[in-house]
Amino acid sequence: MFPAPFDYYRAHSVDDAVQALARFGDDARILAGGQSLIPAMRFRLARPSVLVDINAIDELAYVRESDGHLAVGAGTRDFALETAPLIAQRYLLLADTSALVADPVVRQMGTVVGSLCHNDPAGDWPVTALAARAQVSIRTPGGATRTVAIDDFVVDSYTTAVGTGEMAVEVRFPTPGTRTSGSYQKIERKVGDFAAEKLLAGAKPSKDLIRAAMREAEKIADPSPDNRGSVEYKKAMAGVLVGRAIAGALERLGVGGLK
Amino acid sequence: MATTTDDLPARHSLGKSMKRKEDPRFIRGKGRYLDDIVLPHMLYLALVHSPYPHARIKSIDKSKALALPGVKAVITGEDLDAAKLEWLPTFHGYDKQMVLAFGKALYQYQEVAGVVATSREIASDGAELVEVEYEPLDPLVTPFQAREDKIILRDDRESKTNHIYHWEVGDKAKAEGELDGSAVRIKERILSPRCHPAPLEPCGVLADMNKATGRLTVYMTSQAPHVHRTAFSLVTGIPEDKIHVISPDVGGGFGNKVPVYPGYVVATVASVIIGVPVKWVESRTENLTTTGFARDYHMDVEIGATKEGKVTALKVSTVADHGAFDAAADPRKYPAGMFGIVTGSYDFPTAFAEVDAYFTNKAPGGIAYRCSFRVTEASFAIERGMDILARKLDMDPVELRRRNFIKKEQFPYPSPLGFVYDSGDYEATTQKALDIIGYDELRKEQAEKRKSGELMGIGVSTFTEIVGAGPGKHFDILGIKMFDSAEIRIHPTGSGIVRAGTRHQGQGHETTWAQIVAEELGLDPQELLVEEGDTDTAPYGLGTYASRSTPVAGGALALAARRIREKGKKIAAHLLEASENDVEWKDYKFNLKGVPGKSVTMKEVAFAAYTNPPPDSEPGLEATYYYDPPNLTFPNGSYIAVVDVDRETGAVIVRRFLAVDDCGVVINPMIVEGQIHGGLTEGFAMAFMQEIAFDESGNNLNTNFTEYLVPTALETPHWETANTVTPSPHHPIGAKGVGESPNVGSPQAFVNAVMDALAPLGITHIDMPLTREKVWRAIRDAEAKVS
Amino acid sequence: MASHEFRTDRVEVAFTVNGKPVGLAVDPRATLLDTLRDELGLTGTKKGCDHGQCGACTVHVNGRRVNSCLSFAATHEGAAIDTIEGLGTPDNLHPMQRAFVELDGYQCGYCTPGQIMSAVALLAEPCGESDAEVAECMSGNVCRCGAYQNIVAAIQSVRKENAT
């Protein structure tokens, strides 16, 4: 299938993009990596009238650490997190996640912020951003920037706090403390599947605590049934994966033997 | 009789891992596949599909689509019906298939209309503008629902039932009697689920009607271009000499590119009407939802045995889901194909098999996905059945098999279901597999692991395949006997051109056909150009599927080459100034008997054929052979899978997989190895992920590659391979065919291994694909029973 | 259609393909894949699923491997695009092409251009050393003929060659 016809605007700066969004109104969508949007357009599930392409905005592609957080620009592709030494050393949760998004070819083009804005419930980045208590910076039509905690950013499946004429420009992940760790686990029935479940670890490790966390995860998990499994299976796997994620995170802190 | 390749005499060209002659173009992106072909002023076809599995079509409004600039035509079933082109014959001749839904749509995604436009994009836009009004009807989603005949699917048929046919073979009363009298008896319902070959290149056509000459050129993704030419002639009424079918490079077929699909017909009709070329290439979704599904056999398997593990009888009753039209690619006399191979490698004194097929609201198909007709289903049934029997007898599954193998001295072996197996040494093939994998050690390791609750499993499959359809007296497509053909022309300088009625799709015929001919003639295989797929030049053949190319066309090639040798001998005698009786073909040249060093090569003979032929003889050096094989061939193999199952998630890790194959004489070990890797990967896929499933309303749940899971490099296990060689006694070069063995033989090895891992939990059978969830559920339910 | 005043039938885009500058006015919805195949006649890049699920259309964009079916041509202003046609010559194949021949890394040939382009890009990525890690790195490229084992072996042989 081919996408339905649309108009195209190549933005050269964030201001340019935001002005274009203002000009085209409701039916305009930002095109970043396009790895989720373009398939949706090809199935004609998404039919934006205008695409504002931000791929030419070079200054949006960055990964910077400052003031207790890691800032990732809206032009930053998944592979950049997968390959940055800084990430591999200090942001283990992000490193795990970036290496599990879709497949390695898709990761060359797909962006972290784009994935957050798409907010597929099965996507990897929204899950990790929630776990890491990330914040998202949004440029408003007036040119101001507002920052939203991830809990407020994620409104519902495929819905975020980014309003009409606005554009998400950056996501910030808090820098983990030395006694904090993370681990991202995913049931992959096959590479390219979207994430099934997740969770992040806390402190005071014990087998009982892990078991309690697993039971809790099973209880609170609210998955949708699909080809990767029924609700029942996914809830059970939420528990198993939480157990493994906590044990994995603890192992990274040097606390072993809890698997 | 079984030997290893090492023991065979040194050969000229056979048995050598010659590099593929396709290499230079394929690794540089210079292959020429269907969608790479562009003709001037070409139009594009897009199809409109039914969103409903079963619905009355109340009206179709083309006006908006026709108003779109760039749209040249909109074609509906009504239009085709007016032109008497609405029905398409299916290959075995029992049924016919609608080209475009007419009156009723009978499956979700069924083709309802076609839009022809100046670009792919406009055709897509136009298809969206065709307004179809449907009245949804209750669907038949399973053959068991269909069997009740509460809803009758096909208004067009006189007989008001969804039952398509009953087929049976063997002695029912005797088999049932023996089963009743057996000391030990098992019965299990085993499903071979609906799946799809999904070659990476989708199906497509580029039809080009030249109104000046009246000649129709059809480029198509075809595994059987000659049969397709005949089919096109029968459907359209265009004389066969006015149709030219070209099957260019084909990006994988696996059976998907054997049938004729509605898209081909609509594009061709559009080209005939408009007089310009029209291209249709299916999308991945169209591929998975409308063209060529495979399997969908629900098999009740019963085996009887003595307490000592000697099998006494087999009975298999199958309910088959054929979808909305019976387009199963089976020979006319064999509506259930070669399902009679279901007795496998075992010496059953008596057996009975029956198949009842039903229409349902699903896409038509039943194609032979990387197997001879229905052999994958049959092989899965018997190999699962033997494992279940071994469990019941508390006997090692290898030991049970060995007690029942057909012995090598029993060949040619007449099976109770009517086939005569050509050759095999199952014991030797199996012993080799056990030795390589270290079977006894693995069993010890498993016993240790079981003590600590770890789920490790070892699964075997000692299968027998049946390929090379086949003897024309039994097998046909559209009534055409399933022979195949070869034509060889040797040029004056000793190079040549070789043409065959087959069409490869990755099997490397350009290389292996040259090797067969070079072996027979002592010529350089690099100097033999192989051509297939063009009906104007290649001799008529039935095509490439069902592992038939080497058993049938391979025989034709060898025998055509021997005809060249016969003529060459006369020329050699002339050159050696000797009587023909004094000349013999030895060491790949013509020798004067008893005079060492006095010889001429085929190259010298070729030159003489054009420059100095014997007086009163016909100049030139070429031959044609149409080969109707006297029997099928019966490749076999012994496969062993070793798996570990994650108790918590149901995930299966395939730790090791060994395939020991016996496909008779090997033409090119490198290419055979590639074929085995490929078949095993597809067998693995069937066992663990590939399934076309439907929800209760008949909606297809696997319409693209994120829903229809195919293996990538990541999931695919590491394959270990070995072989034994038991030549086919009736094949001109002793070859049996291999493309499908690994696909036919492997799914049951995986499933047997997982069931073996789960044996301590009392789990006997889980239907494919063994997804994590299914395995997890079985474990959970079993554990709940225990506690 | 949209109510806005702006209407782009064609978008100007300039990039290089296999080192040669190309300037085109493309339909905004033309993918890089269709543009390469239909506009530029470079049919070596293949279409297997058209939804980024198979990798047959893998090309390089500024040296990185990308599913050309999942990006619009218009996006690639100023980019350096490389396709299978730009890799090696008949007399001097790229080492990866040689390795695919040597180790029989394909059968029907349809996924092969994508596999080779993906494999070449992988050489510059921080992929782990083991066969399993290479297999993971190649998991975006489907081969229905199941030549994975030989594809991984071909990549490993080139990596070994490069390391010495």
Domains and CATH numbers, chain A: 7-53 (3.30.43.10), 59-174 (3.30.465.10), 181-254 (3.30.390.50)
Residue C140, in any domain of the structure? yes
Residue B695 CB neighbours (<10 A): 10
pLDDT grade for A204, boundaries at 50, 70 and 90: low
For residue range B493-502, what is the model confidence (pLDDT) as tens digits? 999 999 999 9
Query: Counting beta carbons within 10 angstroms of the beta carbon of residue B401, is it exposed (0 to 12), middle (13 to 18) or buried (19 or more)?
Result: buried
Lowest mean pLDDT among B84-88, B350-354, B511-515: B84-88
Chain C partners within 8 Å of B512 (Cβ): none
Average pLDDT over residues B30-36: 98
Residue C52, in any domain of the structure? yes
Please list, in sequence order, all residues whose beta carbon lies within 8 angstroms of the beta carbon of residue B267, skipping any fewer than 6 positions away: B45, B114, B205, B206, B207, B278, B279, B280
Chain B partners within 8 Å of C140 (Cβ): 712
Nearest-angstrom CA–CA distance, B122 and B78: 23
C106 and C156 in a common domain = yes
For residue range A83-136, what is the model confidence (pLDDT) as tens digits? 888 898 889 889 888 888 888 999 999 999 999 999 988 888 998 899 889 999
pLDDT grade for B330, boundaries at 50, 70 and 90: confident
Tell me the C-alpha to C-alpha distance, in Å, between residue B53 and each of B106, B196, B197, B704: 6, 18, 22, 18
Q: Is the Cβ pair C138, A5 closer than 8 Å?
A: no
Residue B364: what are its φ and ψ, rounded to 5°? -75, 160
Selected residues 116-155 of chain C with any CB under 8 Å from a CB in chain B: 116, 131, 134-136, 138-152
Here the CATH number for the domain that contains residue C76 is: 3.10.20.30
For residue range A236-247, what is the model confidence (pLDDT) as tens digits? 988 888 888 888
Tokens 């319409």 sit on residue: B703
Chain A partners within 8 Å of B649 (Cβ): 187, 237, 240
Containing B186, the helix (H) or strand (E) segment is strand B184-192
Chain C nearest-CA distance from A98, in A, is: 13
Residue C4, in any domain of the structure? no
Nearest-angstrom CA–CA distance, B305 and B303: 7
Q: Which chains touch C (3 or more CB pairs under 8 A)?
A: A, B
Of B109, B370, B130, the C-alpha closest to B263 is: B109
Nearest-angstrom CA–CA distance, C56 and B201: 9
Q: Is the Cβ pair A227, B701 closer than 8 Å?
A: yes
Lowest mean pLDDT among B745-754, C3-12, C82-91, C118-127: C3-12
Chain A nearest-CA distance from C124, in A, is: 11
Residue C32, in any domain of the structure? yes
Q: Is the Cβ pair A83, C126 closer than 8 Å?
A: yes
Of B271, B282, B284, B201, the C-alpha closest to B43 is: B271
Q: Is the Cβ pair B252, C83 closer than 8 Å?
A: no
Selected residues 22-41 of chain C with any CB under 8 Å from a CB in chain B: 27, 29, 34, 37-38
Q: Does B711 touch chain A (CB under 8 A)?
A: yes
Considering A140-149, B332-341, C97-106, the range whose residues carry the highest mean pLDDT is C97-106
Look at residue B94 in the predicted model and tell me its pLDDT: 82
Please list, in sequence order, all residues whose beta carbon lies within 8 angstroms of the beta carbon of residue B118, skipping any fewer than 6 positions away: B43, B44, B70, B72
Q: Is the Cβ pair A236, B707 closer than 8 Å?
A: no
CB contact at 8 A, B709 and A190: yes
For residue range B419-474, what is the model confidence (pLDDT) as tens digits? 999 999 999 999 999 999 999 999 999 999 999 999 999 999 999 999 998 899 98
Q: Does A109 touch chain B (CB under 8 A)?
A: no
Chain A partners within 8 Å of B706 (Cβ): 192-193
Q: Is the Cβ pair B200, C104 closer than 8 Å?
A: no
Bridge partner residues of B413 (DSSP):
B421
CA B208 to chain centre: 29
For residue range A160-202, what is the model confidence (pLDDT) as tens digits? 999 999 999 999 999 988 767 777 777 664 444 444 333 444 4
Chain B nearest-CA distance from C145, in A, is: 5
Nearest-angstrom CA–CA distance, A250 and A203: 8
C103 and C81 in a common domain = no
State the helix-helix crossing angle for B509-521 and B555-576, rounded to 10 degrees: 30
The pair of structure tokens assigned to B69 is: 């600039």
Residue of A nearest to C124 (CA): A83
Please list, in sequence order, all residues whose beta carbon lies within 8 angstroms of the beta carbon of residue B127, skipping any fewer than 6 positions away: B46, B47, B48, B65, B113, B115
Query: Does residue A4 or residue B307 have the better pLDDT?
Result: B307
Nearest-angstrom CA–CA distance, A168 and B334: 63
Residue C136, in any domain of the structure? yes
Look at residue A188 in the predicted model and tell me its pLDDT: 61
C102 and C158 in a common domain = yes
How many domains are contained in chain C? 2
Nearest-angstrom CA–CA distance, C79 and C61: 6
Pure H helices in B27-169: 63-67, 77-82, 120-129, 143-147
Residue C6, in any domain of the structure? no
Of C122, C112, C120, the C-alpha closest to C148 is: C112
C80 and C101 in a common domain = no
Here the CATH number for the domain that contains residue C128 is: 1.10.150.120
Q: Does A60 touch chain C (CB under 8 A)?
A: no
C101 and C62 in a common domain = no
Of B381, B351, B329, B465, the C-alpha closest to B192 is: B381
Residue of A nearest to B122 (CA): A2
Chain B nearest-CA distance from A15, in A, is: 33
C104 and C73 in a common domain = no
Look at residue B332 in the predicted model and tell me its pLDDT: 82
Chain B nearest-CA distance from C131, in A, is: 10
For residue range B205-257, what is the model confidence (pLDDT) as tens digits? 999 999 999 999 999 999 999 999 999 998 889 999 999 999 999 999 999 99
Nearest-angstrom CA–CA distance, B323 and B338: 20
What positions of B carry a catalytic annotation?
223, 370-371, 740
Bridge partner residues of B43 (DSSP):
B278
Q: Which chains touch B (3 or more CB pairs under 8 A)?
A: A, C
Average pLDDT over residues B557-566: 98
Tell me the C-alpha to C-alpha distance, in Å, between residue A155 and each of A126, A163, B342: 11, 11, 57
Residue B337 zone, left/alpha/beta (φ > 0; ψ -120 to 50; rest): left
Q: Average pLDDT, whole number, for chain A?
A: 86
Tell me the C-alpha to C-alpha distance, in Å, between residue A217 and each of A241, A244, A250, C64: 9, 12, 18, 38
- The proportion of chain C whose per-residue pLDDT surpasses 90, expressed as a percent, equals 92
C136 and C102 in a common domain = yes
C113 and C58 in a common domain = no
Nearest-angstrom CA–CA distance, B173 and B551: 36
Complex ipTM: 0.96
For residue range C80-129, what is the model confidence (pLDDT) as tens digits? 999 999 999 989 999 999 999 999 999 999 999 999 999 999 999 989 99
Cα dihedral across residues A21, A24, A27, A29: positive or negative: negative
Q: Is the Cβ pair C47, B713 closer than 8 Å?
A: no
Of C157, C161, C114, C163, the C-alpha closest to C138 is: C114
Is pLDDT of B6 > 60? no
Look at residue A25 in the predicted model and tell me its pLDDT: 83
Average pLDDT over residues A58-71: 93
C78 and C18 in a common domain = yes
Q: Does B171 touch chain A (CB under 8 A)?
A: no
Of B190, B263, B313, B323, the C-alpha closest to B768 is: B190
C131 and C69 in a common domain = no
Examine the fold and report which residue of C86, C113, C130 is the final residue of a domain before the chain moves on.
C86
Domains and CATH numbers, chain B: 5-31+484-627 (3.30.365.10), 34-137+202-250+257-290 (3.90.1170.50), 293-469+631-786 (3.30.365.10)
Tokens 């063009």 sit on residue: B534
Residue C1, in any domain of the structure? no
Residue C2, in any domain of the structure? no
C78 and C17 in a common domain = yes
- Spell out a b/e string for B434-464, using b for 16 or more CB atoms within 10 Å of the CB, else e: bebbebeebeeebeebeeeebbbbbbbbbbb
Is pLDDT of B1 > 50? no
pLDDT grade for B362, boundaries at 50, 70 and 90: very high
Length of chain A: 259
Chain C partners within 8 Å of A49 (Cβ): 1-4
Residue B214 zone, left/alpha/beta (φ > 0; ψ -120 to 50; rest): left
Look at residue B487 in the predicted model and tell me its pLDDT: 98
CB contact at 8 A, B737 and B550: yes
pLDDT grade for C164, boundaries at 50, 70 and 90: confident
C58 and C106 in a common domain = no
Q: Average pLDDT, whole number, for chain C?
A: 94
Examine the fold and report which residue of C86, C119, C146 is the final residue of a domain before the chain moves on.
C86
Q: Is the Cβ pair C149, B251 closer than 8 Å?
A: no
By residue range, what is the domain housing residue C149?
95-163
Residue in B709, B710, B780 to test binding to A, most A beta-carbons within 10 Å: B709
For residue range B268-283, what is the model confidence (pLDDT) as tens digits? 999 999 999 999 999 9
The pair of structure tokens assigned to C76 is: 């690639």
Chain B nearest-CA distance from C14, in A, is: 22
Between β-strands B55-61 and B104-105, what pairing exists: parallel, antiparallel or unpaired?
antiparallel
